[in-house]
Structure 1
């Protein structure tokens, strides 16, 4: 009973904030997803990544190990999902990227924070940064068959990650007034992303829910298994291992739908994956947390 209450305390704020966004749209109020998403991904999330890396108390060697483990885990997930898409004769441009990359920002970061505190958030930011770089490079290439390296280099997420890693490695700190300002901007990221998730889910019109349900279930099982195997292989300490599993096994991100819409893939099928996997996470994420806590 105590474990169940602990898990509920962790996941409840996440879904309550998403429910705020969902209800906001259903009540007919305006919410400009494009503006909020651009603001978050251009300013707030990079500030969160930079300050979290700069201020983390986790050993730099442990973070480097987790970064490498994250890369290997995503490589293993990519191979497994590629085989799944081939076996199911599914459209690669539509299904592969959503099945590989999860919602490590909207759900993974707050879950890690609520479950494991600032140390967990520091670990989660590392996995999120690895995912973001892969998603905006390899992920765009999968959807569009031609990602731009120059565009990737210009992404604020990439710059924030590199500078944060540099400051962590050198032990540098920005002046207190600047740190406070950056932290304040970064604190907006998590609530904004969660509310936007609810808004996006409320507006999506998914098709083929049967296939989406099957693929979402397989995504959770495959991603959690791959992350666990890689984490144990790298000998990650318990909190880092738990964060890696939770982050890799998050549901399909709303950005996958936006990319499918932008590059002409089957966005309705991706919308189905987003909705079903997000609803399924109400059960799967508490189970995963109960297992790893």
Structure 2
């Protein structure tokens, strides 16, 4: 009973904030997703990442280890879904990237914070950064046939990760007035991302729901297994292992739909995957959390 209440207290704020965004647009209020997303990804999320890394008390070696574990987990997921897509005769351009990359930003970061505190958030931003780097390179190559390895260096979240890691390694700290400012900006990130997730789900037009259900269930099972295997192989401590499993098992990201639209893939099945996997996560993420925090 106590475990169930703990899990509910962790997940309820996440899904309630997403529900606010969903209801907001359903009743006809305006919400500029492009502006809010740009604000989050170029300003508030980088501030959150930098401050989380600078203030974390995690050993730099532990952060390096979870980085390697993240790469290993995503490599496993990538190989398994490549085989599944080929066997199922699905369009690689449409299906492969969404099945690999999850919503580690909008859902993963707040869940890690609520479940594991500031230490968990420190681990989570590393997994998020690894996923983002892979998504901006290999992920774009999968969808568009051409990856941008130079574009990644221009992404603010990558710069914030590298700068935060440098400050952590050297034991540096920004002046108090600047730390307070960056903290305030970073606090925007989590609620804004969750509300935007709800808005995006409310606006998506879905297709191939039956297939989306099967693939979404397969995604959860394969991602949990891959992350668990990577955590065991790299001997991650319990909090790091829990964060890795939750992050890798997050549902299909809305950005997968946006990339499909941008690069000419079939966007409607991707929208179906986003909606179905996100709704499924209302059940699966609490179950995963109950497993990793038990």
- Structure 2 unaligned segments of length 5 or more: list them: none
User: Which residue in the other structure is 1:132 paired with?
Assistant: 132
Q: Is residue 42–residue 156 contact of structure 2 (8 Å, CA) maintained in 1?
A: yes
Residue 149 of structure 1 deviates from its aligned partner by: 2.4
> How big is the alpha-carbon RMSD for the aligned residues of Structure 1 and Structure 2?
0.7
For residue 227 of structure 1, what is the aligned residue in structure 2? Answer: 227
Give CA deviations for 1:200-234 in whole Å, capped at 9, x if unaligned: 00000100000000000000000000000110111
Q: Distance in 1 between matches of 2:149 and 2:216?
A: 30
- In structure 2, how many angstroms separate the alpha carbons of the residues matched to 1:27 and 1:164? 41
Matched residue, 2:38: 38
Q: In the alignment, what sits opposite 1:78?
A: 78
- Corresponding residue pairs, total: 293
- Aligned partner of 2:171 in structure 1 is 171
Q: How does 1:42-121 map to 2 (within 5 A)?
A: 42-121=42-121
Distance 2:140 2:180 in 1: 34
8 Å contact from structure 1 (residues 120, 239) kept in 2: yes
Q: Does 1:245 align with 2:245?
A: yes
Please give the alpha-carbon distance, in whole angstroms, between the structure 1 residues aligned to 2:189 and 2:32.
Answer: 16
What residue number does 1:208 align with? 208
TM-score by length of 2: 0.98
C-alpha deviations, 1:60-112, integer Å up to 9, x for none?
11111011111111111111111111111111111111100000011111111
Following superposition, the deviation at residue 136 of structure 1 comes to 1.1
CA contact (8 A) 1:22 1:198 kept: yes
What is the TM-score with the length of structure 1 in the denominator? 0.99
User: Could you tell me how far 1:179 is from its partner in structure 2?
Assistant: 1.0
Distance 1:138 1:109 in 2: 22
Cα deviation, residue 24, structure 1: 0.3
Unaligned ranges ≥5, structure 1: none
